[in-house]
Amino acid sequence: MGLEPECSVHQAAQRGDLDRICQVLEADPTQANDRDEQNVTALHWAAINGHTDCCELLLENGAEVDATGGELEATALHWSARNGQLNSMHLLVKYGANLKAVDKQGFNALHLTTHSSYIMPLIFVLQQDAYRTKDAIDSKDPQGHTSLMWAAFQGDAMSVQILLKHGASVHTSDEAGLTPLHWAVVAGSRLCMERIIAQGAQLTAKDSTEKTAADLAREVTTYSNYVAALYALGRDREGRPIDRKLGSKSQRFLIYLVPFLGYGALFQVVPHLPWFLAGPSFVVGVAMIHLGIGLFVLDRHKRNALKQSPYYLSLLSMSLAWLFLMWFNYVMPATPMYWKSNMLVGLLLFTVITNLCWCASISPGRCPEPKSAEERQSDVNELASHGMLTGLSFCITCLARRPLRSKHCHMCGVCIPRHDHHCPWIDNCVGLRNHRSFIVMLIAAEIGIPLYLSLVYQYYLDQIPDVLVARYRDHLFSAWLTAAVQFNGALFCSSVWIFVINLWLLILLAMQLAQIARQLTTFEASNVGRYGFMGGRGDTNMSTQNGFIEQQAERMIQAGVPRDQVQKQLYGCSDHKKKSLSKLCLGIGSSLMSIVGLDLYTRGKGGQGLSRSRAAANPFDRGLVNNCLDFWTAGDYLGVDYERLYDVPT
């Protein structure tokens, strides 16, 4: 329905009424540059509201692209930049808008885009020729603030990261002598401080009042975050490198040695304890090994230190090592009549070990990155011209175009083609190049473990003396089980451990095979569960970036806001909930699910996504047979290059 005839061109531009603008301009083309009572042109209103079709019509009819207006005497580009209107910005730049023009406050397009905290518009501006030099990136407003200072002041860690990647200086200072690090301290953003310090910021730099960043942090009560940023970078409170007692090689050696010896000791000791102490003692022992590794071997100040270490891989290796030792020393010699089964166990064990080594050591694949700044500029401009410069098509960490079905892994630091998930149990991502080996390993384990356990059962049947079983006939538990523990407790405990591992491996394999049959990855199944489609969120800004909510919570608590109010303001709910045994158990269960990796299907709604995947649009689904053939040939069967997949294959 069209607007009323008396609607002005400015109102039509504000509302996106293209027909009314056409009608006005046909009657009087000069109205393309008319100003309203606020001294603003129609182009300003169309640009700030993202009506690119209206913008283009006005520009084609002679609208001045750099016309200034409003109280701040800003251009249409300034208005769209302040509000993160990427499509409007791209169109205005295409028509020759001056990116270096400043408004009445002295802000240029880069300053205003940084103020918006929208990442993609910031990347777009930084790729333009006007901001390809360090002087342009470090351009200052009248108070001497650079874009990096503004990003740091806003606690916008993503914008800080993008500006640093494009060469923004951490050594500049404003009229008050404040550096970007000083402004990050004012914001209290640990991530911003960490990234600026990592880029080489001088911790001893002083402002006009002779205060360093540390002095200012104490004054504005953000010193704890400042120290945490230093610790995360391996420095002490004074900024000096922390002398690590363990080198990387010694650390890795202990990560493998401690679980092997610790669990071995538990397998030997626990069977000799009274039955009511055996279970709790084993759990306490496992917890002590886990905490010991985290506190004394790994760097506890490093985020995700446990998941980024080979600790979980060492547990899997330890389990395989003990399985081999028990089988080779006890089970195989005692069951010669089952030589075929023993040969098959040995073959399957070899298959599991070789594929585990392959999964852990080989690259899961890596998406191509631009070879030059010119290539990156071309990619960004091309995506922007098609309205595709979003988080789905461009990686803000690698600053590279993202193929479909890929994902940036923050653990591995690269974009992985056909990314499934990051698996701490192989200390690697599961992606295009190692996914098949991962599945072969799971299949071999699911065949081999039950076969091994059946041999263990046969071992006990043949080896336990009847007199030992008779001795425990009146025992609280099964006489046979009690006799088995007493006869060879290490084998019994290790077999129970292997049985538990087999259960979650079975669930993992079932989910993986179901996803392969439907041409889905774990990441895509999670997206279907969360958002209803495979791609996930299309764009990002400050409110959704990693660590932002936590940083806001820290600042509010430091300002004296009660914790329940912090929870209510940030999440819309209070954290004052009744504690109960069931909730405690749920919390422990969530932790265990995270450890074994099944949280991918619970916390990430991957299981829900898998069940909903039939209803969700999946342009890659080619039917069961073709999907499986595509998986086992890494795309060769359907002729798909997943490392350069930018359009849905036909």
CA distances (Å), origin 557, targets 188, 348, 564, 616: 12, 55, 10, 42
Question: How many whole angstroms separate alpha carbon 370 and alpha carbon 7?
Answer: 48
Query: Is 522 within 8 Å of 606 (Cβ atoms)?
Result: yes
Q: What is the DSSP string of 317-372?
A: HHHHHHHHHHIIIIIHHH-GGGHHHHHHHHHHHHHHHHHHHHHHHS--------SS
Query: Is 487 within 8 Å of 272 (Cβ atoms)?
Result: no
For helices 119-126 and 86-94, what crossing angle results, to 10°?
20
Query: Is 137 within 8 Å of 116 (Cβ atoms)?
Result: no
In a 3-state reduction of DSSP, which class is residue 213?
Answer: helix
Dig out the tokens for 404 from the structure. 């479909």
CA distances (Å), origin 547, targets 165, 214, 262, 318, 364: 19, 22, 35, 34, 27
| DSSP code at position 77 | H
Dig out the tokens for 390 from the structure. 């979003």
7 is catalytic: no
What value, to the nearest 5°, has the Cα angle with vertex 539 and ends 537 and 544? 80
Out of 423, 493, 573, 628, which one is annotated catalytic?
423
What are φ and ψ of residue 231, in 5° steps?
-60, -40
H or E segment to which residue 225 belongs: helix 223-232
Residues labelled catalytic: 423
